[in-house]
Amino acid sequence: MTQTLTLGRFFRLSLLSLGALMFLAPYIFMVSTAGKDQSEIFSASLSLIPQHFAYMANFTKALTRVSMQNLLLNGVIVCGLILVLQVVVAVPCAYALAKLKFGAARFMMALVMLGLLVPIHATALPLYVAFDKLSLLNSYTALVAPFSISVFGIFLFLQFFRAMPDDLIHAARLDGMSEAGIVARVIVPNAWPAVTAFAIFSVVAHWNDLFWPLIVVTNQSYATPPLGLLFFRAAEAGDDYGALMAATLIITLPLVIAFLLAQKRFVEGITMTGLKG
């Protein structure tokens, strides 16, 4: 697959590279800062490559001052629980809306659409009060429960399931499967591209979410990675930007690695090259 470098191709590539550079610049700067010591960060000269590599010192600080394992573990638990619950709720909902005929289907569909329009910020206060009344603040429940039903998930799966042939479901019914059996044995095994795509959206959103954890969590032992960073900055690092950047790097690393590993699946999921016969 060698292509000659025509003028048009060169132009396209440079435009794309420029765009990529613009988006990557903060990240590159972060990587650079994570390796500088205090004095260099605040020096007047701006260089991308640290003069004295202080990576060891900064990473040691980042790993020792706050419980980084705890933060990452919280992130994994919260994101994992959210994702599992979302899929478990959204897949049957989407199946029912896409393939079953029932009276309230249109009304339900309207509710889903409405749900898409309401941001979490609008419902944050009542939810906070409710969790407070239930004494559930500072818990995994408070972090996970509000996101267990994802209207976006329902919507995404709905679009995907609609494209699945009706005959497949009819065949499953004739073969003796119950509706739950159809979801588990026919729909889900064929919906992996959609589930993967949704998993990426969901995990990225909730791993990086600062807003909601900031509201319901004050106890450091339940802090998710972005919230942990906040604690780290406020309590420990002070002006130590080198260590802060090192900590940020550690927190963004799992997502970057996951993306690089699942790059192909990710693109597959987004383009949703669905199933054909």
Check binding of 80 to other proteins (CB under 8 A).
Answer: no
Q: Least distance from C-beta 178 to other proteins, angstroms?
A: 8
- Span near other proteins by CB under 8 A; candidates 60-68, 136-144, 177-185, 255-263: 177-185
Q: Which of 8, 26, 119, 176 binds other proteins (CB under 8 A)?
A: 176
71, 134 contact by CB (below 8 A): no
Q: How far apart are CA 59 and CA 4, in angstroms?
A: 44
Site string for other proteins, 136-175 (x = CB under 8 A): -----------------------------x-xx-xxxxxx
Check binding of 105 to other proteins (CB under 8 A).
Answer: no
Q: Which of 190, 196, 208, 252 binds other proteins (CB under 8 A)?
A: 190
Check binding of 272 to other proteins (CB under 8 A).
Answer: no
Question: What are the backbone dihedrals phi and psi of residue 167, each rounded to the nearest 5 degrees, phi first?
Answer: -60, -30
Q: Residues binding other proteins: what is the number (CB under 8 A)? A: 20
Check binding of 44 to other proteins (CB under 8 A).
Answer: no
Check binding of 8 to other proteins (CB under 8 A).
Answer: no
Output the six-digit token pair for 218: 């004050």
Q: How far apart are CA 264 and CA 267, in angstroms?
A: 5
Q: Which residues contact 82 (CB under 8 A, 6 or more apart)?
A: 144, 147, 148, 202, 206
Check binding of 126 to other proteins (CB under 8 A).
Answer: no
Q: Least distance from C-beta 184 to other proteins, angstroms?
A: 10
Check binding of 264 to other proteins (CB under 8 A).
Answer: no
Check binding of 102 to other proteins (CB under 8 A).
Answer: no
245, 58 contact by CB (below 8 A): yes
38, 52 contact by CB (below 8 A): no
- Span near other proteins by CB under 8 A; candidates 32-40, 66-74, 120-128, 179-187: 179-187
Exposed / middle / buried, residue 91 (Cβ in 10 Å: 0-12, 13-18, 19+): buried
Check binding of 41 to other proteins (CB under 8 A).
Answer: no
Q: Which of 81, 186, 197, 200 binds other proteins (CB under 8 A)?
A: 186
Among 72, 61, 67, 71, CA closest to 241:
61
The H-assigned helical ranges of the chain are 7-33, 38-41, 55-65, 68-99, 105-117, 120-133, 140-144, 151-162, 166-174, 179-182, 188-190, 192-207, 211-216, 225-231, 241-261, 263-271
Binding site for other proteins (CB under 8 A): 165, 167-168, 170-178, 181, 185-186, 189-190, 275-277
